[in-house]
Amino acid sequence: MLDPRHRKLAEVIVGYSTEVGPGDKVLIESTGSASPLVRELYGASLRAGGHPETSLGLDEAEEALLGEGSDAQLEWIAPDLEWKVDRGDVWMVIDAPVNTKRLTGVDPSKMGTRLKARAPIQSRYLERSAAGDFRWVICGYPTEASAQDAGMSLRQYEDVLYRAAFLDKDDPVAAWASFGDRLEGVGSILDNVRELRIVGEETDLKLGVEDRTWIRSKGLRNFPDGEVFTGPIETSVEGTIRFTFPAMMRGRQADGVRLRFEAGEVVEATATRGQDFLREMIALDEGAKRVGEFAFGMNDAIGEYTGNLLLDEKIGGTVHLALGRSVPGTGGENRSGLHWDIVCDLRDGGEVYADGELVYRDGAFLSGTS
């Protein structure tokens, strides 16, 4: 059945997030379950004057590659992928999982081989993106699998997702614009900070952020969105953080993750469940031990944990850090095949100090902070 919100969502993605214009080469990718939205994006891109193309990913094909592929096959880069990162103008990825745990049984070394081979591709598109030559967006799409992870019905999950995307508003683009103003306010506070200290339950972590750029993430590269993030100084991270939410990566999971840092590197990593997996990921390469991103989740329309990182890392009142690759444009210099976001809820008693001054408590920036 046609959900009228698909049309609205497509208009926002094409008109606001990626600003498709005449002659733009647009690639729309998804899994099969999101075809209704893919069609809307295709039509909206044509109306905007672009040259859209679509490609539906096949879960079972990827499973065959990861299950039976040789190293040469795992490392091979398809012409479509190279073209996209070198020559494309707009790349839309619709995240519409049919089964979020389908890769749980894959040999981690095969996954690692593939991740490493693709790291240069990742860097290339992120660099083109930072230079303003490439607009990409990852857009959530409600599926039974995501609803199941969130412990709710598909209809309930649709409402959660579309509320987070401000599609319940009459004019979602205006809502994103005014939300962007709010993120600008927070960003301008953080721009002048040298050191952040995060304090919470079993957590006391310091990060140097001087001269790094805080990016106001307001619905352009992720959708839904709502975070302010940077790449901390690679050698600066010190102390301990205990993450309240599970750390998820491609169907695998570690719970109760606790990391201790010295001089920017993880020196101790424990988990109440999935500890081996956690340590495997951290051992992927040199950069996987370091923090590539630190961020404040700012979207108050997302209230609860859903198990979908795209939403969870944006929850208003949380912070997250990513082990591994930093994002071009932030000033971060860390390189890795990994970029693994893990979320910590600060809504219940968490505090953040900026150069010694309390600026954030119980999940919100304090008014009058300068």
Interface positions with other proteins (CB under 8 A): 25, 27, 32, 35, 38-39, 42-43, 46-47, 49, 51, 53-58, 60-61, 64-65, 68-70, 72-73, 76, 78-80, 83, 87
Smallest gap, in angstroms, from Cβ of residue 6 to other proteins? 12
Residue 189: count other Cβ atoms within 10 Å of its Cβ.
Answer: 17
Q: Which is nearer to other proteins, 56 or 189 (CB)?
A: 56
Any idea what DSSP says for residue 255?
B
Residue 365 near residue 189 (C-beta atoms within 8 A):
yes
How are beta strands 238-242 and 258-262 bridged, if at all? antiparallel
Give DSSP secondary structure letters for 116-174.
Answer: HHHHHHHHHHHHHHHTTS-EEEEEE---HHHHHHHTS-HHHHHHHHHHHTTTTSS-HHH
Handedness of CA 291, 263, 212, 194 (dihedral sign): positive
Smallest gap, in angstroms, from Cβ of residue 54 to other proteins? 5
Q: Which is nearer to other proteins, 1 or 61 (CB)?
A: 61
Smallest gap, in angstroms, from Cβ of residue 217 to other proteins? 29
Q: Which is nearer to other proteins, 70 or 99 (CB)?
A: 70
Q: Which is nearer to other proteins, 87 or 194 (CB)?
A: 87
CA-closest candidate to residue 237, choices 257, 212, 208, 197: 208
Residue carrying structure tokens 């590539």: 292
Smallest gap, in angstroms, from Cβ of residue 114 to other proteins? 13
Q: Which is nearer to other proteins, 55 or 272 (CB)?
A: 55
Residue 151: both structure tokens together: 């412990």
Smallest gap, in angstroms, from Cβ of residue 194 to other proteins? 46
Smallest gap, in angstroms, from Cβ of residue 90 to other proteins? 13
Q: Which is nearer to other proteins, 69 or 303 (CB)?
A: 69
